A and B are shown apart, each in its own frame.
Chain A
Protein backbone atom coordinates (compact mmCIF):
# COMPACT_ATOMS: atom_id res chain seq x y z
CA UNK A 1 0.00 0.00 0.00
CA UNK A 2 1.23 3.47 -0.84
CA UNK A 3 2.28 6.08 1.66
CA UNK A 4 -0.72 7.59 3.44
CA UNK A 5 0.17 11.16 2.41
CA UNK A 6 0.16 10.19 -1.27
CA UNK A 7 -3.33 8.73 -1.31
CA UNK A 8 -5.16 12.00 -1.76
CA UNK A 9 -7.16 12.02 1.45
CA UNK A 10 -8.87 15.20 2.60
CA UNK A 11 -7.37 14.83 6.06
CA UNK A 12 -4.49 12.38 5.88
CA UNK A 13 -3.44 13.39 9.39
CA UNK A 14 -6.24 11.20 10.78
CA UNK A 15 -4.30 8.12 9.71
CA UNK A 16 -0.92 6.87 10.86
CA UNK A 17 1.05 3.94 9.53
CA UNK A 18 2.29 0.91 11.39
CA UNK A 19 5.80 2.32 10.93
CA UNK A 20 4.74 5.53 12.66
CA UNK A 21 3.27 3.59 15.57
CA UNK A 22 6.38 1.45 15.87
CA UNK A 23 8.42 4.63 16.11
CA UNK A 24 6.21 6.10 18.84
CA UNK A 25 5.79 3.17 21.19
CA UNK A 26 7.56 5.08 23.95
CA UNK A 27 6.24 8.54 23.15
CA UNK A 28 4.65 10.03 26.28
CA UNK A 29 2.45 12.25 24.13
CA UNK A 30 0.90 9.26 22.37
CA UNK A 31 -1.44 6.61 23.73
CA UNK A 32 -2.09 3.55 21.60
CA UNK A 33 -5.52 2.04 22.11
CA UNK A 34 -6.77 -1.31 20.86
CA UNK A 35 -10.52 -1.68 20.28
CA UNK A 36 -11.88 -4.93 18.94
CA UNK A 37 -15.08 -6.77 18.45
CA UNK A 38 -13.48 -9.98 19.69
CA UNK A 39 -12.80 -9.61 23.42
CA UNK A 40 -10.08 -12.28 23.34
CA UNK A 41 -7.74 -10.48 20.96
CA UNK A 42 -6.23 -7.85 23.26
CA UNK A 43 -5.46 -10.28 26.09
CA UNK A 44 -4.03 -12.77 23.57
CA UNK A 45 -1.43 -10.16 22.58
CA UNK A 46 -1.33 -6.47 21.74
CA UNK A 47 1.05 -3.76 20.58
CA UNK A 48 3.52 -3.07 23.40
CA UNK A 49 2.23 -0.24 25.55
CA UNK A 50 -1.27 -0.36 24.10
CA UNK A 51 -4.28 -0.16 26.38
CA UNK A 52 -7.67 -1.66 25.63
CA UNK A 53 -10.91 0.23 25.24
CA UNK A 54 -13.72 -2.26 25.03
CA UNK A 55 -16.81 -1.08 23.24
CA UNK A 56 -19.26 -2.92 25.47
CA UNK A 57 -17.54 -2.53 28.82
CA UNK A 58 -16.00 0.91 28.43
CA UNK A 59 -17.99 2.95 25.93
CA UNK A 60 -21.60 2.00 26.63
CA UNK A 61 -23.83 3.04 29.46
CA UNK A 62 -24.32 -0.14 31.49
CA UNK A 63 -28.08 0.35 31.80
CA UNK A 64 -29.57 2.55 29.09
CA UNK A 65 -28.93 2.19 25.39
CA UNK A 66 -26.53 5.08 25.11
CA UNK A 67 -22.87 5.90 25.37
CA UNK A 68 -21.10 6.79 28.55
CA UNK A 69 -21.65 10.27 29.97
CA UNK A 70 -19.06 12.90 30.86
CA UNK A 71 -18.31 11.32 34.22
CA UNK A 72 -17.85 7.94 32.57
CA UNK A 73 -15.58 9.38 29.90
CA UNK A 74 -13.55 11.29 32.47
CA UNK A 75 -13.10 8.04 34.37
CA UNK A 76 -12.14 6.07 31.26
CA UNK A 77 -9.74 8.71 29.93
CA UNK A 78 -8.14 9.07 33.36
CA UNK A 79 -7.74 5.32 33.71
CA UNK A 80 -5.87 5.09 30.43
CA UNK A 81 -3.72 8.02 31.46
CA UNK A 82 -4.45 10.53 28.73
CA UNK A 83 -4.94 14.28 28.76
CA UNK A 84 -6.81 16.36 26.17
CA UNK A 85 -3.43 16.97 24.55
CA UNK A 86 -2.59 13.29 24.16
CA UNK A 87 -2.61 11.94 20.63
CA UNK A 88 -4.62 8.75 20.80
CA UNK A 89 -4.06 6.12 18.14
CA UNK A 90 -6.79 3.54 17.72
CA UNK A 91 -6.34 0.18 16.05
CA UNK A 92 -8.24 -3.08 16.12
CA UNK A 93 -9.77 -6.02 14.30
CA UNK A 94 -12.18 -6.08 11.37
CA UNK A 95 -10.33 -3.47 9.26
CA UNK A 96 -10.48 -1.05 12.18
CA UNK A 97 -14.24 -1.14 12.28
CA UNK A 98 -14.27 -1.06 16.10
CA UNK A 99 -11.36 1.33 16.26
CA UNK A 100 -13.29 3.90 14.23
CA UNK A 101 -16.25 3.34 16.51
CA UNK A 102 -14.16 4.12 19.58
CA UNK A 103 -12.66 7.15 17.83
CA UNK A 104 -16.13 8.40 17.01
CA UNK A 105 -17.17 8.15 20.67
CA UNK A 106 -14.00 9.95 21.77
CA UNK A 107 -14.85 12.76 19.34
CA UNK A 108 -18.29 13.07 20.93
CA UNK A 109 -16.35 14.23 23.99
CA UNK A 110 -14.20 16.62 22.02
CA UNK A 111 -11.09 14.45 21.96
CA UNK A 112 -10.43 15.09 18.28
CA UNK A 113 -6.70 14.50 18.58
CA UNK A 114 -7.46 10.92 17.65
CA UNK A 115 -6.18 8.89 14.71
CA UNK A 116 -6.43 5.43 13.24
CA UNK A 117 -3.51 3.08 12.58
CA UNK A 118 -4.09 2.16 8.97
CA UNK A 119 -4.52 -1.57 8.50
CA UNK A 120 -5.22 -2.19 12.15
CA UNK A 121 -4.27 -5.28 14.04
CA UNK A 122 -4.14 -7.50 10.98
CA UNK A 123 -1.50 -5.39 9.23
CA UNK A 124 0.62 -5.16 12.37
CA UNK A 125 0.46 -8.95 12.66
CA UNK A 126 1.16 -9.64 9.01
CA UNK A 127 4.23 -7.42 9.14
CA UNK A 128 5.56 -9.68 11.87
CA UNK A 129 5.63 -6.92 14.43
CA UNK A 130 5.77 -7.53 18.16
CA UNK A 131 2.77 -8.42 20.26
CA UNK A 132 2.87 -8.76 24.02
CA UNK A 133 0.49 -10.04 26.65
CA UNK A 134 1.99 -7.72 29.23
CA UNK A 135 -0.36 -4.96 30.25
CA UNK A 136 1.28 -1.54 30.37
CA UNK A 137 1.73 0.21 33.69
CA UNK A 138 -0.34 3.35 33.31
CA UNK A 139 -0.19 6.36 35.57
CA UNK A 140 -3.79 7.58 35.83
CA UNK A 141 -4.49 11.13 34.76
CA UNK A 142 -7.21 13.55 35.77
CA UNK A 143 -9.15 14.13 32.57
CA UNK A 144 -11.88 16.75 32.55
CA UNK A 145 -13.87 16.40 29.33
CA UNK A 146 -16.56 18.74 28.07
CA UNK A 147 -20.09 17.39 28.14
CA UNK A 148 -20.81 14.93 25.38
CA UNK A 149 -21.86 16.78 22.24
CA UNK A 150 -24.33 14.73 20.21
CA UNK A 151 -25.26 17.61 17.95
CA UNK A 152 -22.55 17.41 15.31
CA UNK A 153 -21.66 13.85 14.34
CA UNK A 154 -24.48 11.78 15.83
CA UNK A 155 -27.98 11.30 14.41
CA UNK A 156 -31.15 10.30 16.21
CA UNK A 157 -34.31 8.66 14.95
CA UNK A 158 -36.45 11.77 14.63
CA UNK A 159 -33.64 13.63 12.96
CA UNK A 160 -33.20 10.83 10.46
CA UNK A 161 -36.92 10.83 9.74
CA UNK A 162 -36.82 14.56 9.04
CA UNK A 163 -33.66 14.05 7.00
CA UNK A 164 -35.26 11.49 4.67
CA UNK A 165 -38.48 13.49 4.40
CA UNK A 166 -36.32 16.35 3.13
CA UNK A 167 -34.66 14.02 0.62
CA UNK A 168 -31.34 13.93 2.47
CA UNK A 169 -28.46 11.59 1.70
CA UNK A 170 -28.46 8.30 3.56
CA UNK A 171 -26.02 5.40 3.34
CA UNK A 172 -26.92 1.93 4.56
CA UNK A 173 -23.60 0.20 5.18
CA UNK A 174 -24.98 -3.24 6.06
CA UNK A 175 -24.67 -6.25 3.81
CA UNK A 176 -26.86 -6.44 0.69
CA UNK A 177 -28.96 -9.15 2.34
CA UNK A 178 -29.70 -6.97 5.33
CA UNK A 179 -30.47 -4.02 3.05
CA UNK A 180 -32.96 -6.03 1.02
CA UNK A 181 -34.61 -7.47 4.12
CA UNK A 182 -33.90 -11.09 3.28
CA UNK A 183 -33.98 -13.53 6.16
CA UNK A 184 -30.44 -14.76 6.45
CA UNK A 185 -30.94 -17.24 9.22
CA UNK A 186 -31.02 -20.97 9.04
CA UNK A 187 -34.53 -22.39 8.56
CA UNK A 188 -36.25 -22.95 11.88
CA UNK A 189 -34.42 -20.19 13.68
CA UNK A 190 -35.86 -16.76 14.38
CA UNK A 191 -34.81 -13.51 12.85
CA UNK A 192 -32.89 -11.58 15.47
CA UNK A 193 -32.28 -7.94 16.08
CA UNK A 194 -35.31 -6.31 14.46
CA UNK A 195 -38.95 -7.09 13.95
CA UNK A 196 -38.91 -5.84 10.37
CA UNK A 197 -36.36 -6.23 7.59
CA UNK A 198 -35.46 -3.81 4.85
CA UNK A 199 -33.92 -0.36 4.87
CA UNK A 200 -34.70 3.27 5.55
CA UNK A 201 -36.41 4.76 2.48
CA UNK A 202 -34.05 6.56 0.18
CA UNK A 203 -30.93 4.93 1.54
CA UNK A 204 -28.15 3.89 -0.80
CA UNK A 205 -26.60 0.50 -0.14
CA UNK A 206 -22.85 0.44 0.29
CA UNK A 207 -21.39 -2.14 2.67
CA UNK A 208 -18.82 -0.49 4.91
CA UNK A 209 -16.09 -2.94 3.98
CA UNK A 210 -15.92 -1.65 0.42
CA UNK A 211 -13.81 1.19 1.78
CA UNK A 212 -11.15 -1.24 2.94
CA UNK A 213 -8.54 -3.26 1.13
CA UNK A 214 -8.04 -6.94 1.87
CA UNK A 215 -5.15 -6.08 4.20
CA UNK A 216 -7.40 -3.84 6.28
CA UNK A 217 -5.96 -0.55 5.00
CA UNK A 218 -8.22 2.13 3.58
CA UNK A 219 -8.60 2.45 -0.16
CA UNK A 220 -7.08 5.58 -1.66
CA UNK A 221 -9.14 8.71 -2.27
CA UNK A 222 -9.60 8.03 -5.98
CA UNK A 223 -11.04 4.60 -5.24
CA UNK A 224 -13.22 5.97 -2.45
CA UNK A 225 -14.57 8.78 -4.64
CA UNK A 226 -15.43 6.23 -7.30
CA UNK A 227 -17.59 4.38 -4.76
CA UNK A 228 -19.23 7.15 -2.78
CA UNK A 229 -19.40 10.01 -5.30
CA UNK A 230 -19.54 8.37 -8.72
CA UNK A 231 -21.41 5.16 -7.91
CA UNK A 232 -23.66 6.28 -5.05
CA UNK A 233 -23.92 9.86 -6.22
CA UNK A 234 -23.28 11.39 -2.82
CA UNK A 235 -22.55 15.09 -2.71
CA UNK A 236 -19.82 15.97 -0.19
CA UNK A 237 -21.45 19.35 0.34
CA UNK A 238 -24.76 17.87 1.48
CA UNK A 239 -25.56 16.50 4.96
CA UNK A 240 -25.17 12.73 5.04
CA UNK A 241 -26.31 10.08 7.50
CA UNK A 242 -24.75 6.63 7.74
CA UNK A 243 -26.32 3.72 9.56
CA UNK A 244 -26.00 -0.05 9.99
CA UNK A 245 -27.43 -2.27 12.73
CA UNK A 246 -26.22 -0.59 15.91
CA UNK A 247 -23.93 2.11 14.56
CA UNK A 248 -20.63 0.30 14.66
CA UNK A 249 -20.04 -0.44 10.98
CA UNK A 250 -21.40 2.96 10.03
CA UNK A 251 -18.76 4.63 12.20
CA UNK A 252 -16.23 3.24 9.72
CA UNK A 253 -18.10 4.87 6.85
CA UNK A 254 -18.51 8.06 8.90
CA UNK A 255 -14.71 8.12 9.29
CA UNK A 256 -14.17 7.56 5.58
CA UNK A 257 -16.62 10.19 4.41
CA UNK A 258 -15.56 12.77 6.99
CA UNK A 259 -11.81 12.39 7.12
CA UNK A 260 -10.72 10.67 3.94
CA UNK A 261 -13.15 12.28 1.50
CA UNK A 262 -13.77 15.55 3.34
CA UNK A 263 -17.55 15.52 3.50
CA UNK A 264 -18.64 18.52 5.53
CA UNK A 265 -21.54 17.12 7.54
CA UNK A 266 -21.72 13.41 8.24
CA UNK A 267 -23.61 11.87 11.13
CA UNK A 268 -23.61 8.34 12.42
CA UNK A 269 -27.10 7.08 13.28
CA UNK A 270 -26.18 4.63 16.03
CA UNK A 271 -29.78 3.68 16.75
CA UNK A 272 -29.58 2.22 13.26
CA UNK A 273 -31.63 -0.73 12.13
CA UNK A 274 -32.18 -2.20 15.59
CA UNK A 275 -34.07 0.98 16.43
CA UNK A 276 -35.63 1.76 13.06
CA UNK A 277 -36.71 -1.80 12.28
CA UNK A 278 -38.33 -2.16 15.70
CA UNK A 279 -40.08 1.21 15.80
CA UNK A 280 -43.82 1.41 15.27
CA UNK A 281 -44.95 3.30 12.22
CA UNK A 282 -41.64 4.29 10.66
CA UNK A 283 -41.41 3.93 6.88
CA UNK A 284 -39.44 1.00 5.48
CA UNK A 285 -38.41 0.04 1.98
CA UNK A 286 -37.42 -3.34 0.67
Chain B
Protein backbone atom coordinates (compact mmCIF):
# COMPACT_ATOMS: atom_id res chain seq x y z
CA UNK B 1 0.00 0.00 0.00
CA UNK B 2 1.27 3.48 -0.82
CA UNK B 3 2.39 5.65 2.09
CA UNK B 4 -0.49 7.24 3.91
CA UNK B 5 -0.50 10.35 6.08
CA UNK B 6 0.97 9.18 9.42
CA UNK B 7 -2.05 10.26 11.46
CA UNK B 8 -4.35 8.35 9.15
CA UNK B 9 -2.16 5.27 9.52
CA UNK B 10 -2.32 5.69 13.30
CA UNK B 11 -6.09 5.75 13.14
CA UNK B 12 -6.13 2.66 10.97
CA UNK B 13 -3.80 0.86 13.34
CA UNK B 14 -6.09 1.73 16.25
CA UNK B 15 -9.16 0.52 14.38
CA UNK B 16 -7.31 -2.69 13.59
CA UNK B 17 -7.67 -3.68 17.25
CA UNK B 18 -11.43 -3.37 17.20
CA UNK B 19 -13.19 -6.69 17.41
CA UNK B 20 -16.88 -5.87 17.79
CA UNK B 21 -19.46 -3.70 16.06
CA UNK B 22 -20.18 -2.01 19.40
CA UNK B 23 -16.54 -1.05 19.95
CA UNK B 24 -16.35 0.34 16.44
CA UNK B 25 -19.48 2.41 16.94
CA UNK B 26 -18.31 3.77 20.29
CA UNK B 27 -14.94 4.73 18.82
CA UNK B 28 -16.51 6.47 15.87
CA UNK B 29 -19.09 8.27 18.03
CA UNK B 30 -16.28 9.64 20.20
CA UNK B 31 -14.54 10.88 17.06
CA UNK B 32 -17.77 12.39 15.72
CA UNK B 33 -18.18 14.27 19.01
CA UNK B 34 -14.88 16.04 18.26
CA UNK B 35 -16.07 17.29 14.87
CA UNK B 36 -15.69 21.03 14.36
CA UNK B 37 -17.51 22.65 11.43
CA UNK B 38 -15.78 25.03 9.07
CA UNK B 39 -15.08 28.37 10.78
CA UNK B 40 -16.77 31.54 9.47
CA UNK B 41 -13.39 32.86 8.36
CA UNK B 42 -13.32 30.14 5.72
CA UNK B 43 -16.98 29.82 4.74
CA UNK B 44 -20.43 30.88 5.85
CA UNK B 45 -23.87 29.55 5.01
CA UNK B 46 -25.33 29.21 2.50
CA UNK B 47 -22.25 27.47 1.24
CA UNK B 48 -21.04 27.61 -2.31
CA UNK B 49 -22.35 24.45 -3.96
CA UNK B 50 -18.94 23.90 -5.52
CA UNK B 51 -17.84 22.65 -2.10
CA UNK B 52 -20.65 20.13 -1.69
CA UNK B 53 -19.61 16.47 -1.60
CA UNK B 54 -21.67 14.96 -4.37
CA UNK B 55 -23.11 11.63 -3.33
CA UNK B 56 -22.97 12.30 0.42
CA UNK B 57 -26.55 12.44 1.61
CA UNK B 58 -25.51 13.85 4.96
CA UNK B 59 -24.89 17.08 3.06
CA UNK B 60 -21.17 17.30 3.65
CA UNK B 61 -19.06 20.16 2.34
CA UNK B 62 -15.27 20.31 2.01
CA UNK B 63 -12.88 23.23 1.69
CA UNK B 64 -9.10 23.14 1.12
CA UNK B 65 -7.02 26.16 2.05
CA UNK B 66 -3.37 26.44 1.02
CA UNK B 67 -0.71 26.60 3.70
CA UNK B 68 2.56 28.47 3.18
CA UNK B 69 4.43 25.15 3.20
CA UNK B 70 2.47 23.93 0.21
CA UNK B 71 0.22 21.56 2.12
CA UNK B 72 -3.48 22.06 2.71
CA UNK B 73 -5.77 22.72 5.61
CA UNK B 74 -9.05 20.91 5.19
CA UNK B 75 -12.34 22.14 6.59
CA UNK B 76 -15.69 20.39 6.65
CA UNK B 77 -19.30 20.84 7.50
CA UNK B 78 -22.12 18.31 7.70
CA UNK B 79 -25.52 19.94 7.49
CA UNK B 80 -27.55 16.88 8.44
CA UNK B 81 -27.57 16.90 12.27
CA UNK B 82 -28.01 13.13 12.13
CA UNK B 83 -24.99 12.63 9.89
CA UNK B 84 -22.79 11.18 12.61
CA UNK B 85 -20.79 8.95 10.29
CA UNK B 86 -20.00 11.85 7.98
CA UNK B 87 -18.95 13.90 11.01
CA UNK B 88 -16.66 11.11 12.19
CA UNK B 89 -15.11 10.68 8.76
CA UNK B 90 -14.64 14.45 8.45
CA UNK B 91 -12.97 14.67 11.84
CA UNK B 92 -10.57 11.87 10.89
CA UNK B 93 -9.72 13.46 7.55
CA UNK B 94 -9.25 16.87 9.14
CA UNK B 95 -6.80 15.57 11.71
CA UNK B 96 -5.04 13.19 9.34
CA UNK B 97 -4.79 15.26 6.18
CA UNK B 98 -4.47 18.90 7.20
CA UNK B 99 -0.77 19.69 6.86
CA UNK B 100 0.08 16.26 5.50
CA UNK B 101 2.23 15.94 2.38
CA UNK B 102 0.04 16.20 -0.68
CA UNK B 103 1.52 13.06 -2.19
CA UNK B 104 0.37 11.08 0.82
CA UNK B 105 -3.11 12.59 0.80
CA UNK B 106 -3.38 11.89 -2.92
CA UNK B 107 -2.65 8.21 -2.19
CA UNK B 108 -5.62 7.66 0.07
CA UNK B 109 -8.03 5.12 -1.32
CA UNK B 110 -11.75 5.47 -0.80
CA UNK B 111 -11.70 1.90 0.46
CA UNK B 112 -10.32 3.05 3.81
CA UNK B 113 -13.94 3.88 4.64
CA UNK B 114 -14.53 0.19 5.18
CA UNK B 115 -11.50 -0.12 7.46
CA UNK B 116 -13.09 2.49 9.70
CA UNK B 117 -16.76 1.60 9.37
CA UNK B 118 -16.63 -2.09 8.55
CA UNK B 119 -18.32 -3.78 5.65
CA UNK B 120 -21.81 -3.78 7.08
CA UNK B 121 -22.76 -0.26 6.09
CA UNK B 122 -25.26 0.44 3.37
CA UNK B 123 -24.17 1.00 -0.19
CA UNK B 124 -25.39 4.57 -0.03
CA UNK B 125 -23.60 5.32 3.22
CA UNK B 126 -20.42 3.70 1.96
CA UNK B 127 -20.61 5.68 -1.24
CA UNK B 128 -21.21 8.97 0.57
CA UNK B 129 -18.25 8.48 2.91
CA UNK B 130 -16.08 7.36 0.02
CA UNK B 131 -16.96 10.52 -1.88
CA UNK B 132 -15.91 12.52 1.16
CA UNK B 133 -12.46 10.97 0.88
CA UNK B 134 -12.45 11.50 -2.87
CA UNK B 135 -13.11 15.19 -2.34
CA UNK B 136 -10.10 15.51 -0.06
CA UNK B 137 -7.91 13.52 -2.44
CA UNK B 138 -9.16 15.59 -5.37
CA UNK B 139 -7.90 18.82 -3.81
CA UNK B 140 -4.48 17.29 -3.11
CA UNK B 141 -4.18 15.99 -6.66
CA UNK B 142 -5.14 19.36 -8.05
CA UNK B 143 -2.03 20.86 -6.40
CA UNK B 144 0.42 18.19 -7.55
Contacts and interface: CB of A to CB of B under 8 A. Distances in A.
Interface of A: 36-41, 43-44, 54-57, 93-94, 121-122, 125, 184-186, 188-189, 192-193, 245-246, 248, 274
Contacts of B99: none
Dominant secondary structure at the B interface = helix
Interface in B104-144: 117, 120-125, 127, 131, 134-135, 138
Contacts of A184: 54-55
B88 interface: yes
B26 interface: yes
Given A186-B135, A246-B123, 19 more contacts: A37-B57, A37-B122, A38-B83, A39-B120, A40-B32, A43-B22, A43-B26, A44-B25, A44-B32, A44-B84, A56-B122, A93-B82, A94-B82, A121-B82, A125-B82, A184-B54, A185-B131, A192-B127, A246-B124
16 contacts: A38-B82, A38-B125, A39-B21, A39-B25, A39-B117, A39-B120, A40-B32, A41-B82, A41-B84, A43-B29, A44-B25, A55-B122, A56-B120, A186-B131, A193-B127, A248-B122
B18 to A, nearest CB: 13
B4 interface: no
B100 interface: no
A189 B125 CA distance: 17
A185 B54 CA distance: 6
A178 B32 CA distance: 30
Contacts, number: 74
Contacts of B55: 184-185
A11 B28 CA distance: 40
Nearest to A101: B122
A78 B109 CA distance: 40
A57 B120 contact: yes
Interface residues of B, number: 29
A274 B22 CA distance: 30
A204 B44 CA distance: 37
A40 B84 CA distance: 6
A280 to B, nearest CB: 21
A184 B55 CA distance: 8
Contacts of B90: none
B17 to A, nearest CB: 18
Contacts of A188: 138
B85 interface: yes
A122 B120 contact: no
B127 A40 contact: no
Nearest to A60: B120
B84 A38 contact: yes
Contacts of B22: 43
Contacts of B124: 37, 245-246, 248
A214 B25 CA distance: 28
